[in-house]
Amino acid sequence: MNLNLADADNRVIINVGGIRHETYKATLKKIPATRLSRLTEALANYDPVLNEYFFDRHPGVFAQILNYYRSGKLHYPTDVCGPLFEEELEFWGLDSNQVEPCCWMTYTQHRDTQDVLAILDRLDLDTDKPTEEDIMKKFGLEEEYKSGELNCWQRIQPKIWALFDEPYSSTAAKVRQTHYSNGPSLLYL
Ligand SMILES: [Zn+2]
């Protein structure tokens, strides 16, 4: 067998959402116990005529995922929402905790936003105006509030909540309310 044939033998084509990605089988083995490390021609995803695997998943995100196998480093794509990326990671059997430090802010920002939205969802907006301590309690920050150990983001969260609670209480709230229709962007104060 000459070198070119050996190379062809080691190559693999993965068609994700209509976009063909090509790599070496050895590259896919770099991260064990994942969907890609376990590809075999016995899978229904394998097309023997085209000699490729097909997955109907997000092709753009997959480029980043494949790059993780190539470089050993996992970065967040900047053009998709965090939860979408995490869903794709889960599908490919990858761990979002492996994300590189340069992308941690992106990762935690999405997490924090989701946490705030989840809390807002649970709030009963018909209750009487709560005290600052009540608000802290709702965010599970009672202990930190009492001992004065709140970090910056923890201090901001209840203020965001307060804006939702009393939308007409201040000019700032009115401004924020205007932005409310634009969705969660409001949360990046
Ligand atoms: Zn990064």
Q: How far is CA 58 from the centre of its chain?
A: 13
CA of 20 to the centre of ligand 1 (A): 24
Whole-number Å distance, alpha carbon 73 to ligand 1 midpoint, is 8
How far is it, in rounded angstroms, from Cα 55 to Cα 43? 11
The residues near 80 (Cβ < 8 Å, ≥ 6 apart) are 58, 60, 61
Q: What's the gap in Å between 89 CA and the centre of ligand 1?
A: 15
Residue-wise pLDDT tens digits, 137-174: 777 777 777 777 777 667 666 666 666 655 444 544 44
Distance 161 CA to ligand 1 centre (A): 31
Residue 152 main-chain phi, psi, to 5 deg: -55, -50
Split at pLDDT 50, 70, 90, the class of 18 is very high
Check if CATH label 3.30.710.10 holds for domain 3-99: yes
What one-character-per-residue DSSP string does 103-116 give?
GHHHHHHHHHHHHH
For CATH 3.30.710.10, list the domain ranges present in the chain. Answer: 3-99
How many A from CA of 65 to the centre of ligand 1? 12
Question: What pLDDT digit, counting tens, does each position of 23-42 carry?
Answer: 999 999 999 999 999 999 99
Q: How far does residue 96's CA lie from ligand 1's centre (Å)?
A: 12
| Of 128 and 52, the one with more pLDDT | 52
**Distance (Å) from CA 33 to ligand 1 centroid:** 23
For 101-129, the pLDDT digits (tens) are 898 877 777 777 778 778 777 766 555 66
Asked if residue 83 has pLDDT above 90, the reply is: no
- Model-level pTM? 0.59
- Distance of CA 34 from the midpoint of ligand 1 (Å): 21
